[in-house]
């Protein structure tokens, strides 16, 4: 029998325990022996089906030679980072869904896992139940990955869907998301692009093989998005989506960012709605490949965690293709990327043409909304300096 421990018994930790119990027969067939949760680390004891497994002393996990895998679902960096290091040093595999920890400390923890001959796996940290990291690093290993982008946060995507479908204002759509349990009481990480930013950092790390520091990645969310812009671009054949994007640049450079985009309605991402996520990976041999599904939730995320537990136990001795170099040089300002831009200005078409030359007009109704020709973000910002800007967004494509 293989015994594991869970650190944290919130939504994902509880889901891991449920998956191990409910899918016991299937897991045993694939592992060749039963899988059992032996210990659960908690801060506060509470009644329930796992009460007899609970401890508030990490040493009971750290010093238990029978526990081979530790599943970290604490979240955050402080305690999770310390306990993960100690578990790896104790020769235990560690599996996590903690995107913040992986984005900020993943390079160090992977190096420590390699040194100790164990695995540090984190499939659930980016796509929840969507398998994307394993395909990126193994199934597409023969490719040079040139770009990774997508809808990486289900909460913000749900809010945008409600704004498009029902004409709801951002504040009303957010309140509805909170009532349905899709958004936290403090939704900042979701609506301000922080959650998507951590995920695109992990994807960039794996795609390009070098560290992307979250502190270097601009993260713009949807909090200040106007319903007026959502309606204007919809009439013009676009949908507004919050995208994380990582791009390989000439000379082995790279960049990454999170921001709202206009997505053409014929693009596959335009039809990804509600709490669903989708990741597009562009390889030089495969072209674009899309991964789609629920990016969060108790059972989808727990499913990915348990799959990583099984892989950690079966890998011999560890997943060599997982990892990246600590080098951070070569990261460029994403404003150097070229593309079309959407502007809404308090001014006329004449003002827009004077600043940008040829433009595609989407609306003239007291204000003017238009799309520019392709130019870098730096050029767009400079040419728009004399305009009274009301909104500005990138256009995908």
In a structure prediction context, what are the per-residue pLDDT tens digits for the chain, which is 397 residues long? Answer: 999 999 999 999 999 999 999 999 999 999 999 999 999 999 999 889 999 999 999 999 999 999 999 999 999 999 999 999 999 999 999 999 999 999 999 999 999 999 999 999 999 999 888 999 989 988 898 999 999 999 999 999 999 999 999 999 999 999 999 998 889 899 999 999 999 999 999 999 999 999 999 999 999 999 999 999 999 999 999 999 999 999 999 988 999 999 999 999 999 999 999 999 999 999 999 999 999 998 778 898 999 999 999 999 997 656 666 789 898 889 999 999 999 999 999 999 999 999 999 999 999 988 999 999 999 999 999 999 999 999 999 999 8
Q: How far apart are CA 243 and CA 241, in angstroms?
A: 6
Same domain, 142 and 232: yes
User: 114 near 38, Cβ under 8 Å?
Assistant: no
Same domain, 31 and 115: yes
Tell me, yes or no, whether 212 lies in a domain: yes
Q: What is the CATH number of the domain that holds 146?
A: 3.30.360.10
Last residue of a domain, one of 294, 325, 349: 294
Same domain, 62 and 158: no
Indicate the pTM of the whole model: 0.94
Same domain, 96 and 125: yes
Residues contacting residue 54 through CB under 8 Å, at least 6 positions apart: 9, 40, 41, 42, 45, 46
Residues in a beta bridge with 248: 254
Last residue of a domain, one of 294, 328, 349: 294
Same domain, 202 and 86: no
Tell me, yes or no, whether 7 lies in a domain: yes
Tell me, yes or no, whether 321 lies in a domain: no
Verify whether residue 199 is a known catalytic residue: yes
Per annotation, catalytic residue among 92, 99, 114, 199: 199
- Tell me the C-alpha to C-alpha distance, in Å, between residue 19 and each of 15, 37, 61, 134, 380: 6, 11, 21, 20, 50
| Nearest one of 287, 285, 284, 249 to 268, comparing CA atoms | 287
Same domain, 208 and 343: no
Tell me, yes or no, whether 168 lies in a domain: yes
Same domain, 306 and 241: no
Same domain, 246 and 348: no
Tell me, yes or no, whether 108 lies in a domain: yes
Last residue of a domain, one of 294, 328, 356: 294
Give DSSP secondary structure letters for 339-361: E-EEEEESS-HHHHHHHHSS-EE
Tell me, yes or no, whether 281 lies in a domain: yes
Same domain, 57 and 82: yes
User: 262 near 225, Cβ under 8 Å?
Assistant: no
Residues in a beta bridge with 337: none
How many domains in the chain?
Answer: 3
Same domain, 240 and 345: no
Q: What is the CATH number of the domain that holds 363?
A: 3.30.70
Q: What is the CATH number of the domain that holds 118?
A: 3.40.50.720
Same domain, 111 and 240: no
Token digits of residue 5: 């421990």
Tell me, yes or no, whether 322 lies in a domain: no
Same domain, 305 and 357: no
Tell me, yes or no, whether 271 lies in a domain: yes
Domain extent, residue 12, equals: 2-129+299-314
């Amino acid at each position: 029998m293989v015994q594991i421990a869970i650190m944290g018994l919130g939504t994902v930790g509880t889901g891991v325990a449920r998956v191990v119990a409910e899918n016991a027969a299937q897991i045993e067939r694939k592992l060749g022996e039963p899988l059992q949760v032996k210990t659960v680390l908690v801060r506060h004891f509470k009644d329930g089906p796992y009460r007899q497994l609970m401890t508030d002393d990490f040493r009971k996990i750290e010093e238990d030679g029978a526990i081979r895998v530790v599943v970290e679902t604490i979240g955050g960096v402080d305690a999770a980072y310390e306990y993960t290091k100690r578990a790896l040093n104790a020769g235990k595999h560690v599996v996590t869904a903690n995107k913040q920890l992986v984005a900020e400390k993943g390079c160090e923890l992977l190096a420590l896992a390699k040194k100790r001959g164990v695995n540090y796996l984190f499939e659930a940290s980016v796509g929840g139940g969507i398998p994307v990291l394993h395909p990126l690093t193994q199934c597409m290993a023969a490719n040079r990955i040139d770009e990774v982008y997508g809808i990486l946060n289900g909460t913000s995507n749900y809010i945008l869907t409600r704004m498009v479908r029902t004409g709801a204002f951002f504040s009303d759509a957010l309140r509805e998301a909170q009532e349905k349990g899709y958004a936290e009481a403090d939704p900042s990480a979701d609506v301000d692009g922080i959650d998507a930013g951590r995920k695109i950092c992990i994807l960039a790390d794996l795609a390009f093989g070098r560290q992307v520091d979250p502190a270097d990645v601009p993260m713009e969310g949807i909090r200040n998005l106007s319903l007026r812009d959502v309606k204007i671009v919809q009439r013009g054949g676009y949908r507004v989506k919050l995208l994380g994007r990582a791009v390989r640049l000439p000379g082995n450079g790279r960049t990454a960012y999170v921001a709202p985009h206009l997505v053409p309605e014929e693009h596959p991402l335009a039809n990804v709605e509600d709490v669903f996520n989708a990741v597009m990976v562009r390889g030089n041999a495969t072209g674009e490949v899309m991964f789609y599904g629920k990016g969060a939730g108790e059972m989808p995320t727990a499913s990915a965690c348990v799959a990583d537990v099984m892989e950690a136990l079966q890998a011999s001795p560890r997943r060599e293709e997982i990892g990246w170099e600590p080098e951070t040089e070569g990261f460029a300002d994403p404003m150097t990327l070229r593309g079309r831009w959407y502007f809404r200005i308090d001014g006329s078409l004449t003002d827009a043409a004077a600043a940008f030359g040829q433009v595609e007009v989407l609306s003239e109704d007291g204000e003017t909304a238009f799309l520019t020709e392709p130019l870098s973000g730096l050029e767009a910002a400079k040419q728009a300096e004399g305009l009274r800007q009301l909104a500005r967004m990138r256009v995908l494509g």
